[in-house]
Amino acid sequence: MASGVKPRVKVPKKATPGEAITIKTLISHQMESGQRKDKEGNIIPRSIINRFTCEFNGQLVTDITIEPAVSTNPYFQFEAIVPEAGDFKFTWYDDDGSVYDATKSIAMA
């Protein structure tokens, strides 16, 4: 596991049924592009978050394929429809096989 990876997610606490809400996510990650060289001139191997998904009660909101041009500490903002109370599940997939996740509950207003 890459060291010190920490996710951060913003989801409103409440929504009305069927409402589209805005979600913001960020995860601390170096996103080593595979283009940089170390002091000895050797290529530093690529090590990035390559995929991010967001599901609500098991249904897909978004599934993002990520390539090395996404900045360090990758940030995504998108909208989700909330048909009922439940849980958002966020999952980040690391090149090194690690998987990081976060869950946020939302209630009906």
Partner 1 sequence: MNYKALTAIAVALSLPLSAYADADDDTLVLNEEETLVTKTAAPAHLSDVMDEVMSGWHFRSDETQALQMDDFENPAMVFVDKAFDAWETVEGTEEKSCASCHDDVEESMAGVRAVYPKWNEQAGEVRTLAMQVNDCRENQMGAKPWKYTGGDMTAMEALISVQSRGMPVNVAIDGPVQSMWEQGKEMYYARTGQLELSCANCHEDSYGLMIRADHLSQGQINGFPTYRLKNAKLNNVHARFKGCVRDTRAETYKPGSSDFVALELYVASRGNGLAVEGPSVRN
Partner 2 sequence: MEFSRRETLGLALGAAVMTVLPLRVSASIVDDRIAEFTGGADMADTGIELTAPEIAENGNTVPISVDAPGATAIMVLATGNPTPGVATFNFGPLAGSQSASTRIRLAGTQDVVAIAKLADGSFAKASAAVKVTIGGCGG
Between CA 54 and CA 34 the distance in angstroms is: 26
Residues 7-17 as b/e (b if ≥16 CB within 10 A, e otherwise) read bebebeeebee
Enumerate binding residues for partner 2 (CB under 8 A): 20-22, 33-35, 55-56, 59-72, 74-83
Q: By CB under 8 A, is residue 54 in contact with partner 1?
A: no
Q: Looking at this protein, which amino acid is placed at residue 3?
A: S
Contacting partner 1 (CB under 8 A), which of 14, 36, 75, 105? Answer: 75
Binding partner selected for residue 10 from partner 1, partner 2, none, CB under the kind-specific 5 to 8 Å limit: partner 1
Handedness of CA 69, 1, 62, 27 (dihedral sign): negative
Q: Which stretch binds partner 1 (CB under 8 A): 41-49, 71-79, 89-97, 99-107?
A: 71-79
Q: Which is nearer to partner 2, 75 or 98 (CB)?
A: 75
